[in-house]
Every structure is written in structure tokens, then in C-alpha cells.
Structure 1
Amino acid sequence: MRTDDKLDQMEERPTDRVQPPPMTATRLWLFGGTLAVYLAIVIGVLTTSWLVTLDWQVMFFRPYKQWPEIHAFLDYFVVLGQRGPTAVAVAAWLGWRCWRQRNLHPLLVLGASLLLLNMTVGAAKIGMGRLGPHYATTVGASEMGLGGDIFPSGHTANAVVTWGVLAYIATTPLRRRILSVIAALGALGVGMTTVYLGTHWVSDVVLGWAAGLLVLLAMPWLEPGITWVEDRLMGIILRLWLRLRPDSLRGPLPVGMPAPAFSRQRPASEGDVLVRETIGAGTVGRTAPGRPQDGWPHHATRPYAIRSERSPAAPTGSRRPPHADRVPRTIPLSPTSGRGRNTTG
């Protein structure tokens, strides 16, 4: 593929890519219902309701002692909710998609979702300060405000967001449904694994599911900002590419459009025309020697001459070089000439 074709793909986003889900009325209702569940769980734990009683009952049950044979497997399975490994794996996959689509949208969606997740879940963890099952001090207490950082469950919320982003930016509705089911099952498994290992209360996991779902449902509100950042970053990338390969982008500049000066740009001379480069949200101009408005160099037009007026391709006359002993032939030979040279005998 030529450089020009690659740059065209970088400059123009694919038109067949399915846009992310918009903020419809259904999503608004889901967002409101999930937020209500989130607040209800927080209030239930703060008031030491039946949720706290359930947390202590499961903790005393000690699932990791009831089924020890699956402990080794679940130690590895819970990594699917750990922020570092999952973010690297998903970022590698989305980076390859960015290269194929020639845009930064998939990676920027992942970055925005993780940033929102860290801000919301991190603030809730620090603000409520709940201790985990292994560090509980008073039986039957909510263990809130004691300096902990497990409420809501970060593993669970991260599993919902990281794997849910793949469904959010899926290219077809069918893939979006399939990936949504896979992400939901994965987040459910990670949350229950933390309860099995005794690192989280049941209410931590339920609140983590709600926190992650709120981030995914709020992503359409972040799309304008993501698009704005993407345009600026693509502009920077194309500007850097243009400085390295100044002859890669071509196109006519509209009449009256000023051209910003580039560093190391030679002064314009007679016959130069202005060539524009559309980069992201801005326009960059430069001069190119001898290029007309179509952006491609060619020779000046010349009048067309008919065949009789053209100069001959070869000189006229005989191509045989002159000889000193040869007599010029002025009389054509007779048909019998050449058969016998001696006429006197």
C-alpha cells in the first residue's frame, strides 16, 4: 500500500464502523435504576441492615475451606479482574484495532472509562473506609470508617468496565450482544471469586457490579470529549508525519486560505502553488514547485501540430554514406542490365 493511501485512511475515519450506543431513554432508565441500587446498598451497609448480617454469615461459612480443590484455579481466575493485567491485555487488542481503523477511538474509550472508574470507585473506597473480612474487628458491625479500602470491590468493578468496553465499541450489534454476555459472566465470576477467597464482603461485590455498570452506562456522555481529544491527537500525529514526509499529503488549497509557515521552508518562487494538508481539526499549507491546482506536476500545455507540420523522425534522402569512387546514378537501369557486363565479345 502506498504512503498516500495510508495517510488517507488515517485522515478519514471508516464509514462502515458502527457508532457506540447513544444515550437513549432506555439507557437513562437503566442508569437511574442502577444508581438507585448503588445508593440503597450504601445506605443498607451504613445502617447495619440485613446486608451486613449476610456479609458475616458468608464470612463465617468460609467458602475457601468448603471447596479447597478449586482454590488454586480461582487464584489465577481472579486476575481477570485485576486492573494492571487486564488493562494491558485489552489495550494491546484495541491498539491493533486502532492501527487497522487508522483512528484512536478504541484506545481513548478504554482510557476514558478507566479514568472515570478510578475516580468514582477510588473516591468511594477512601470516603467510606470499610475494612475487609480478614481485618474485621467487631462481629456484626459494618466496619465502616476504619481506614479500609474495599467498598466497593475494585476487582469486580474493573472486570465489568474493562471487558464491557469491548462490547461497547463492538462493530456489529450481534458482536455487541455476545460480548456483553461474556463480559457479564466474567464480572459475575470475578466477584464471586473474591467472596470465595474471603477478600471481600458480599455487599462489596454487589456495589462493585453497580459501580462498573454506572461507568459503562455513562460512556455516551463522554463521547463528545473523546472525539475532541481524538481530533487533536490525530492532528498532532499527522503534523509530525508531515514534517518527516513533507511530500506525503497533497491537495489544492481553497482560494483565500492562508498558509502557515513551516520551519525550514524555502521561500516561494514564481510558478509555485499553494498545497493544503487537512490535519485533524486544522489546515496546514505549504508551497510546492510547479504544481497546479490539481496538486500534481506536469509540463506546460503546447499547441498541437498535425502530422504534416511535425519534424520528421529521420533525415530525408539516402542513409548510405557518400563514396569517392562511386558515380551518382542518374539513368535507371534497363531490365537486361546486370546479366552480362562484356558486350564486345
Structure 2
Amino acid sequence: MRVELRPVRPAGWWLDALLVAGFAAITILLAAKTPLLGLDLAVRDFVDVHRPGWADATLRIFNKLGQGGILLTPLALITAFVLARARHTIRPFLLVAGAFVITYVTIGPLKIWTDRTAASDHDVAHPEYLFHIDTGMSYPSGHVVNAIVWYGVLGTLLAGVLSRRLVAAIRYAVPLVLLFTTTYLSFHWITDGLAALMLGLFLDRILRRAPWDAIPLGSRLTSSGWAGPFYDTH
């Protein structure tokens, strides 16, 4: 049986190629110590002197929207459980598992490999450099990648329940909030966030293409009626 990938918008692989190329370009430019590092320093220095206490406290709350293990994964699991019970299929959990695996094998290894310290670390000489400090774990922004992937998962799970506008807001508004908060609070360099946007959107498109409803689940689940479809994003 031929299994076809699900459609995404915009269609085709050209956007995926651009996202990967953009992520690679930012990484190479930072590693080569180009003037792009100056942008990081300029943005960090600007927000450090234009961050009143009330803004700092408020945005720290909003920044928690990007916590994967504490907030997003449990929220996705709860949503998947509710849908699985309502539609009598375990397939919602396949999407959640796919998101967990794809973030686990990308975000952490990239952070360890690039060795970049946070923008808030003023005690390190040249913290903006990549491949500089062994303990650095800043590049790319995990909060932003997690927000794109996990809110994308929630958007997919709830596509048949919520309106398209609300699903779009879940998918895209929260990641933009996280990009702003992580940069404004100096948790990350601006390029950490931009690279994370490109990586997150690429991963999101992979998950949206996956034919979750077509994956064989075995005769036992099929015969018991727990292997039916759960969503339609055409």
C-alpha cells in the first residue's frame, strides 16, 4: 500500500529548503565571527538598558509559555488523551511521540555542539561566539523551537475543534511572543531566536506532512477499533 505525505501550505519542498539554508547560513555566519555578532551585541546591550522592572516581571511570565517539559508536553498529552477517548483511536499519541522525538534529537544536540552562552552572561569573554564555551547551551533557542513544534501539535490536534483563525493564532502568535520575550529578557541572543524560528518551522512542516492516520498499528488495535483516523488537515 502506497502511503502519501499529507499536504502542507505553502506546498512543495522549496520553503523547507529555504528554512534549512537560512538556519545553516546564520550558524556559519556566527561561527565565522562576521558582523552578525555585532547585531547580537547591539540588541542585547539595548534591551539591557531599556528593561524596566514591571516589563521584566511581566515578560518572564509570558516566557513560561515555551517550557516544553513542564507545560507543552503535558498539555499535548492531555489533549491527545481527550481526543483519543472521544474518537476511539490512539493515533493522537503518535503525533505527540513524533514531536517529542524530533525535538529531542535536534534541540539538545545542537545546543551542545554550538557551545554558546546566554546573552545575559556578562562574565564570559565574547559570550556571543559559537564554539567558544563548553558549557554554553544557548543556540538555538529551545523555547522558540518548542513553541513552534508543540503549539503546532496542539493546532493539529484541535484543527477539527477550533476555527482556522484560532488554530493559526496558536501556531504562530505564541512563538512570536517567545521570540520577543527571550530576546528582550536577554535569555537568548536575537540570532538564537531567528535560527530557532527557521528550525522550528522546518520541524513543524515535517510533523504536519507525516501520514499519522496511515501508519499501521497492528491487528489487535485494528480489531478492537482503536486504530481509526483522528484528524484531517487537508
- Range of TM-score over shorter length: 0.7 to 0.9
Contact kept, 8 Å, 2:145 with 2:197, in 1: the verdict is yes
Instruction: Provide the C-alpha distance between the structure 1 equivalents of 2:212 and 2:51, rounded to a whole number of angstroms.
Output: 50
Local SS of the residue matching 1:66: coil
Q: Larger relative CO (CA 8 A, sep 6+): 1 or 2? A: 2
Q: In structure 2, do the counterparts of structure 1 residues 102 and 181 end up closer, same or farther at CA, with 3 Å as the change threshold?
A: same
Moved over 6 A (4+): none
Could you state the TM-score of these two structures normalised by the residue count of structure 1?
0.57
2:176 to 188, 192, 196: 188
Contact kept, 8 Å, 1:64 with 1:196, in 2: the verdict is no
Local SS of the residue matching 1:142: coil
Displacement after TM superposition at 1:213 (Å): 0.8
Matches within 5 A, 1:12-161: 21-22=6-7, 26-63=11-48, 65-84=50-69, 85-135=71-121, 137-139=124-126, 142-147=129-134, 148-161=136-149
Q: Which has the larger radius of gyration?
A: 1
Q: In structure 2, do the counterparts of structure 1 residues 82 and 49 end up closer, same or farther at CA, with 3 Å as the change threshold?
A: same
Q: In structure 2, do the counterparts of structure 1 residues 78 and 96 end up closer, same or farther at CA, with 3 Å as the change threshold?
A: same
One-letter amino acid of the structure 2 residue matched with residue 193 of structure 1 = T
Instruction: Provide the C-alpha distance between the structure 1 equivalents of 2:10 and 2:170, rounded to a whole number of angstroms.
Output: 25
Contact kept, 8 Å, 2:159 with 2:167, in 1: the verdict is no
Q: In structure 2, do the counterparts of structure 1 residues 145 and 138 end up closer, same or farther at CA, with 3 Å as the change threshold?
A: closer
For 1:157-187, what per-residue CA distance to the aligned partner results, in whole angstroms no more than 9, with x for missing partners?
Answer: 0011110112234444983453123321100
Instruction: Provide the C-alpha distance between the structure 2 equivalents of 1:94 and 1:173, rounded to a whole number of angstroms.
Output: 13
Contact kept, 8 Å, 2:113 with 2:131, in 1: the verdict is no
Contact kept, 8 Å, 1:159 with 1:187, in 2: the verdict is yes
Q: In structure 2, do the counterparts of structure 1 residues 220 and 61 end up closer, same or farther at CA, with 3 Å as the change threshold?
A: closer
Instruction: Provide the C-alpha distance between the structure 1 equivalents of 2:214 and 2:52, rounded to a whole number of angstroms.
Output: 46
For 1:256-306, what per-residue CA distance to the aligned partner results, in whole angstroms no more than 9, with x for missing partners?
Answer: xxxxxxxxxxxxxxxxxxxxxx3479xxxxxxxxxxxxxxxxxxxxxxxxx
Q: In structure 2, do the counterparts of structure 1 residues 226 and 150 end up closer, same or farther at CA, with 3 Å as the change threshold?
A: farther
Contact kept, 8 Å, 1:53 with 1:140, in 2: the verdict is no
Displacement after TM superposition at 1:39 (Å): 0.9
Displacement after TM superposition at 1:66 (Å): 2.9
Instruction: Provide the C-alpha distance between the structure 1 equivalents of 2:9 and 2:178, rounded to a whole number of angstroms.
Output: 29
Higher strand share: 1
Instruction: Provide the C-alpha distance between the structure 1 equivalents of 2:188 and 2:114, rounded to a whole number of angstroms.
Output: 15
Local SS of the residue matching 1:218: helix
1:308 paired residue number: none
Structure 1 alignment gaps of length 5 or more: 1-19, 239-277, 282-345
Structure 2 alignment gaps of length 5 or more: 227-234
Q: Number of residues paired by the alignment?
A: 220
Identity of aligned residues (%): 24
One-letter amino acid of the structure 1 residue matched with residue 104 of structure 2 = N
For 1:14-38, what per-residue CA distance to the aligned partner results, in whole angstroms no more than 9, with x for missing partners?
Answer: xxxxxx9426882412211111111
